[in-house]
Amino acid sequence: MHYAELIQFVAFLGAILLLAKPFGLYMARIYEGESTALTPLLAPLEKGIYLFCRIDGAEMDWTRYAMALFILNGVMGASLFLLLLLQGGLPLNPNRVAGASWGMALNTAISFVTNTNWQSYAGETGVSYLTQMAGLAVHNFLSAASGMVVAIVLIRGLVRKNAHRLGNFWVDMTRTVLYILLPLSLVVALFLVSQGVLQNFGANKAVALLQPQTTSAGVIREQVIPMGPVASQEAIKELGTNGGGFFNANSAHPFENPTPLSNFVECLLILLIPASLTFTFGRLVRNPGQGRTLFYSMLFLLVVAAGVMYRAEIAGNPLVTKMGVVGPYLEGKEVRFGVGGSVLFGSLATATSCGAVNAMHDSLTPLGGLVPLVMMLLGEVVFGGVGVGLYTMLSFVVIAVFVAGLMIGRTPEYLGKKIEVREMWLAVGTVLTAGVLVLILVGAAVLLPSGLAGRANPGAHGLSEILYGFASAANNNGSAFAGLDATSLFYRLLTAAAILAGRYVPLLASLAMAGSLAAKKYSPPGLGTLPTDKVTFTLWLVVVIVIVGALTFFPALALGPVIEQLKMIS
């Protein structure tokens, strides 16, 4: 039985190795303004958008670029906030969903603008079809694109010399959406429908239960089947590493993820852009080896993580096995995915900042749940969110180059650009923001009654729930140990604050780094330059990432999942 799971993992690895390079090179063409097979079809639309939005295409320096990004994100957030408040009275609401409370609207607007998609509501009853389509889906596209263009600007900063202009924000956004996100989403959405994912605009449908159900509240004869435009949402939700589910159960819901094949494709979709962007990077810096360094260091961490998680979940819960139960540990998992399909999805969606779930992470074994937690706490650099993973990783590279430079007495340089005090500050700011937020907010939550009140499970697991919640928010992942009651105002406001700072501080620091690097002159590599496209550096990068993550969070992890694991097996 374990052979099939092994084949599934290997097939996944093979598929991503096969797809990442060509797709990465395709994206490089898009960002270099070259034409592709889709150009004849989409170029008129692209030109139309520039004309309509008064976009002149002139290149911007990093401050103007950042300003444009912040203005767009601000307008997006405000419009989603209003849409959520007012959805009760707006059209396309056949199930008569009421307007959201301001706390929920604020948390959700912030969460979706930042590509986090932390959900403090249940999709079935909290959001109208109009909000799903015109609000959440649009944000899924634009927040993903916002992350990707920042990564591209940082790459341009590395490539350009003595320059200030780094590209036009509106052109980069338009091309990302039109040539990368939209065509792929359309194809995948249709594929998902073929597997059983919904795509309609009708009201929920009541069906008669085959056997009426007797509950404490009386006899229930009907089941109300939810409806809605799910597939279009689902495709971009995975592709853009957004992760916000149409339904409360997210990708565990049979209408979001009906078959093992849909599960495999959704997994591929989650990793596709983050993995491919490393090849885009290699192409744009005219040095494929540099991209491969990033790809393989990320892949190494991912394979280790998935392996540990799989071992833990296959071993299962001895406390349950002891009672005479036979079979895989399926609490919070679906039969069609089994342990293998759940681990594949769970490790990918937390290694990237997707945050979709096809199993309830709160019910994972302690070590199985530790893996997603660590993937987030490392700063979402094991591929990470679309674009975000790459620019955060490049900050780790800067730190790794600098530390290595100090150790071996070489000039810290990366791709011909000198790494100086300013770059170090910005890199450290990018890498440590989330960690600092997590430690402070978790500390506050475990000291305050309203923080402790949110736990669903007692003991060490309760600490894990709180830690997971803030790790997810600050790193813009969006998954949860969902027992944590995230609907209280305390958690809605604190997670919203963590999401905001966790998104925009690193983003701004990366744009500033792009500006600072672009202004530098090119210093050709000499004898004193540390080669950053060799295996040695790949390993060194992995070590730096693990040390930074482990040192920051070891005490918290020891008190949460590690203690619980020891308790479970003793």
Between residues 209 and 551, which has the closer beta carbon with respect to another protein?
A: 209
Between residues 311 and 336, which has the closer beta carbon with respect to another protein?
A: 336
Sign of the torsion angle spanned by Cα atoms 33, 38, 42, 43: positive
Between residues 299 and 367, which has the closer beta carbon with respect to another protein?
A: 367
Q: CA 241 from chain center: how many Å?
A: 4
Rounded CA separation 217/266 (Å): 38
Q: CB under 8 Å to 567, separation ≥6 — which residues?
A: 459, 460
Between residues 392 and 464, which has the closer beta carbon with respect to another protein?
A: 464
- Compute the C-alpha angle 195/198/199, nearest 5°: 115
CB of 388 to another protein, least distance (A): 20
**Three-state secondary structure call for residue 364:** coil
Between residues 213 and 411, which has the closer beta carbon with respect to another protein?
A: 213
Site string for another protein, 356-395 (x = CB under 8 A): -xxxx-xxxxx-----------------------------
Site string for another protein, 329-348 (x = CB under 8 A): xxxxxxxxxx-xxx------
Q: Which stretch binds another protein (CB under 8 A): 184-192, 405-413, 471-479, 493-501?
A: 184-192
Site string for another protein, 199-218 (x = CB under 8 A): xxxx-xxxxxxxx-xxx-x-
CB of 233 to another protein, least distance (A): 8
Site for another protein in 401-460 (CB under 8 A): 456-460
Between residues 258 and 405, which has the closer beta carbon with respect to another protein?
A: 258
Q: Which stretch binds another protein (CB under 8 A): 69-77, 280-288, 296-304, 446-454?
A: 69-77
Q: Which stretch binds another protein (CB under 8 A): 21-29, 154-162, 173-181, 487-495?
A: 173-181
Which letter, b or e, does each residue of 435-468 get, where b requires 16 or more Cβ atoms within 10 Å of its Cβ?
bebbbebbeebbeeeebeebbebeebbbbbbbbb
Site for another protein in 254-293 (CB under 8 A): 254-255, 258-261, 263-264
Site for another protein in 220-239 (CB under 8 A): 220, 223-227, 229, 231-233
Site for another protein in 74-113 (CB under 8 A): 74-76, 79
Tokens 């709160």 correspond to what residue? 362
Q: CA 536 from chain center: how many Å?
A: 28
- Quote the strand ranges of 176-319, DSSP E: 205-215, 218-225
CB of 30 to another protein, least distance (A): 17
Asked if 255 contacts 226 with a C-beta cutoff of 8 angstroms, the reply is: yes
Tell me how crowded residue 223 is: count the other CB atoms within 10 A of its CB.
12
Asked if 458 contacts 464 with a C-beta cutoff of 8 angstroms, the reply is: no
* Binding residue (CB under 8 A) for another protein from 15, 72, 439, 539: 72
- Compute the C-alpha angle 553/147/189, nearest 5°: 105
Q: Which two tokens stand for residue 296?
A: 């393989």
Between residues 264 and 310, which has the closer beta carbon with respect to another protein?
A: 264
**Three-state secondary structure call for residue 214:** strand
CB of 144 to another protein, least distance (A): 11
The widest CA-to-CA distance across the chain, in whole angstroms, is 81
* Binding residue (CB under 8 A) for another protein from 137, 269, 400, 541: 137
* Binding residue (CB under 8 A) for another protein from 18, 43, 98, 320: 320
Which letter, b or e, does each residue of 232-242 get, where b requires 16 or more Cβ atoms within 10 Å of its Cβ?
bbbbbbbbbbb
Q: Which stretch binds another protein (CB under 8 A): 313-321, 406-414, 416-424, 466-474?
A: 313-321
Between residues 75 and 551, which has the closer beta carbon with respect to another protein?
A: 75
Q: Which stretch binds another protein (CB under 8 A): 113-121, 426-434, 538-546, 560-568?
A: 560-568
Query: Which has the closest alpha carbon to 245: 118, 59, 426, 394?
Result: 118
7 contributes a contact to another protein by CB under 8 A: yes
* Binding residue (CB under 8 A) for another protein from 282, 483, 515, 549: 483
CB of 226 to another protein, least distance (A): 6
DSSP of 383-437: S-STTHHHHHHHHHHHHHHHHHHHHHT---EETTEE--HHHHHHHHHHHHHHHHH
- CB burial of residue 304 (10 Å; 0-12, 13-18, 19+): middle
* Binding residue (CB under 8 A) for another protein from 15, 42, 186, 436: 186
Tell me how crowded residue 70 is: count the other CB atoms within 10 A of its CB.
14
* Binding residue (CB under 8 A) for another protein from 21, 175, 237, 253: 253
43 contributes a contact to another protein by CB under 8 A: no
- Compute the C-alpha angle 548/550/552, nearest 5°: 65
CB of 297 to another protein, least distance (A): 28
Between residues 336 and 418, which has the closer beta carbon with respect to another protein?
A: 336
Between residues 440 and 569, which has the closer beta carbon with respect to another protein?
A: 569
